[in-house]
Chains A and B, each alone.
Chain A
Amino acid sequence: MEQDEKRRNFLKYLGASSVVVGTIGQGVLAEEQAQTSNESKKPHYGMIFDQNKCVGCTECEVSCHKVNAVPQGQARLYVQNKTDPKTPMEKRYVRVSCQQCEDAPCVNVCPTKACHRDEKTGIVTMNADDCIACKYCIVACPYDVRFINHETKAAENCNFCLNTNFAKKQDPACVQACKYKALVFGDLNDQDSYINQILHVKDAVRMKPTFGTKPSLRYIPVVKVGV
């Protein structure tokens, strides 16, 4: 008899708790959906570097320096020659610049929020006035693509020319300067954008994906076909 009572109570609580937990779950789910639909309205800017097209002319570097007033001897963008010395005729170049991570360590560690995500565009950028140059973002960056600008004494990174060309509704300086169309800039959240059309038909990789920071830069590597 007593057993029976216990079992009945148990079932009663089980029923009640499942209703409660279920509703909470539903609520969380609805919230998540609302968030993602909100996010999809926001742009997510990304860039493709196509190694097959890059010839290593470094016009992008020059243009970046000029447009963003980067001091001499410093760079937001660098083209590294990764040609294998054993096969000197097979040229390989690679773009070195901020990877515009979706989960950016620099934004997370900045104590003054000087390094932040631009509200409108979602681009990781700097508020040089609030930067105290503690260099935490520089050591926290998995890609080592940040530096202290000698002139402004503030940390800096490639922000897709947010304050220069982007403000004038133009493509970033490097994209404009590239004669070989090795660079493509666009909104990854816009399904019709050119950058997405390319990503649909070509295999692209992210740099050091194991760091888990979800970079927005995609690289199309040279692949040897047919052996």
Chain B
Amino acid sequence: MNEAIEFTVGFSHGVEWGWPIGVYLLLAGISGGALIVSLALRYYKRQVEETPLLKAASLVSFVTIVFGMVFLVGDLEKPLYFWKILINYNFKSVMSIGVLALCLYIPLTFVLVAVVFEGWIKEHLSATPLSKLFFLFPLLKALRPAVEVLAFVFAIVVCAYTGFLISVLVRFPLLNTAILPALFVVSGLSAGTAFSSLIASFFFKADAHGGDMKTLHTIEWPVMALEMLLLFMLFVSLIVGTSFDKQTAGAFSQGGYSALFWFGVVGIGFGVPLVFNFLLGKKVAHSAFAFYLSGAASVLGVLSLRLFILYAGQTFSA
């Protein structure tokens, strides 16, 4: 009876949230992850100076989230009306809560950049009209501890909200899971770590194999292991679930998106860093080439993960 009465067509066009949202999810993850790691390290090591990692991470977190906004607004069918989302709020909507969090987070990252780069700004911008704003620096310095704590908290909120944003979509078994927000925070950490250490080493002359970079290098592997574990849990929850869940588990084994998963997420994201750091000997592992390649591979892997979750997620519906 049910099979003849239940309709099987819909009015949407399959994947309604496409690659711009995937890229936004990556950028938000990088932004939040970079700040979380660098600030946690700063607290843990009780650093007071402006380390290359902090410089890189604050810059990365601000720039990536701003670019993320471009993709987010660009994906709207009415991009010029995006301001409506800033004046209307629905606190039952994860998107609304996320917008509110971003409204606080973006200015915080901006202030952090200004504080961290105070020396550079005073040196290079004193001839410009912006120098009239230099009187604000003592105030910002006083506020810095509070700014750092808030930025740390909201970095976690931003990373997690991107997961909750799509985990509330009940139609899609791959998305409608409790694991997704955790997976997004952990993969954000991994991409944020990789991206900010690349920038720290390339632009701010951080020693690629010593100091903070060395610490990050040791954190990197447990984070990756956690990411693998969460993905495995996601897969198991699908194969032991309802008929819709079992059907969705096919996302990992059939069709184009499974290739994205195995080549992009597993091959590039996990495989390349593991091979270059453990399998090819110490000489290769300590080379600059391996450092940059595995960093780029990590970021690419997380991009693949976000795209896989988004596309495969919206392809298999209950």
Contact = CB atoms under 8 A, between A and B. Distances in A.
Interface in A110-128: 110-114
Contacts of B168: 105, 109, 140
Contacts of A211: 170
Interface stretch (A33-41, A58-66, A131-139, A162-170): A131-139
Nearest to B8: A80
A142 B7 CA distance: 12
Contact of B7 (A96, A148, A205): A96
Contacts of A74: 11
Contacts of A108: 90, 92-93
Interface centre among A74, A105, A136 (most CB of B within 10 A): A136
Interface string A39-63: 0000000000001000000000000
Contacts of A222: 1, 4-5
Contacts of A92: 4-5
Interface bracket on B: 35 or more
A223 B77 contact: no
B203 interface: no
A153 B80 CA distance: 12
B103 interface: no
A131 B76 CA distance: 10
A163 B82 CA distance: 26
A146 B11 CA distance: 6
Contacts of B82: 132
Interface bracket on A: 35 or more
B207 interface: no
Contact of B90 (A80, A111, A223): A111
A84 interface: yes
Interface centre among B75, B95, B314 (most CB of A within 10 A): B95
Nearest to B73: A132
Contacts of A80: 7-9
A11 B2 CA distance: 57
B142 to A, nearest CB: 35
30 contacts: A78-B9, A84-B4, A92-B4, A94-B4, A94-B6, A96-B10, A105-B170, A108-B93, A109-B90, A109-B95, A111-B88, A111-B95, A112-B90, A113-B88, A113-B90, A114-B84, A132-B81, A132-B85, A133-B78, A134-B75, A135-B16, A138-B12, A138-B16, A141-B171, A142-B170, A145-B11, A147-B11, A205-B5, A222-B4, A222-B5
Q: What 7 pairs across the A-B complex have the smallest Cβ distances?
A: A144-B10, A133-B77, A112-B88, A221-B5, A111-B95, A147-B11, A111-B96
Interface of B: 1-12, 16-17, 75-78, 81-82, 84-85, 88-90, 92-96, 99, 166, 168-172, 314, 317-318
